[in-house]
Amino acid sequence: MEDAILYFDVKHAVEVHDYILEVSGGLHGQRDIGLLESALDHIQNDLYYPTMLDKLTHLIFAVNKFHAFNDGNKRASISLGAYFLELNGYDYCVQSFVLRMENIVVWVAEGKIDKDLLSEIFLALIEEEDYSESLKLKIIEATNT
């Protein structure tokens, strides 16, 4: 499914973030919207992020770790990742993605799950597989430190 990849702009990302805070609470506002703009621009660069998996991984990682917003960065990373998947025809895995990401994004924020492991997790989700035993072990090892 590596056809032309569709993207969304920073305005949409901010609207999604603001909606999340309206529904679930939190400190409104932005710390540095340039960090979000940078992440959204970078995922469009096929030299750095050639595949959908690479783009999704960087999007989630960047929104989570770069803290463009005062609050809700982890929640926004899940919502924007789910939207990016849906926008690009990966509807079949969005529900599983949302359900599985709650703990994963916390571990990313804590530095327990790095970008490489995050990419492995997304690959399993996109391929509609349960986590392999080796991936489960990697997650356990990473999160028990």
pLDDT, position 1: 45
pLDDT, position 103: 94
Contacts from 78-87 at CB under 8 Å and sequence distance 24+? 78/102, 78/105, 79/16, 79/17, 79/20, 80/8, 80/13, 80/16, 81/56, 83/8, 83/12, 83/16, 84/7, 84/8, 84/55, 84/56, 84/59, 85/56, 85/126, 87/6, 87/7, 87/8
pLDDT, position 94: 94
Please give the average pLDDT of every successive group of 10 residues along the chain, which has 145 residues.
Answer: 84 94 91 93 96 97 94 95 96 93 95 97 89 94 91
Output the pTM of the full model.
0.92
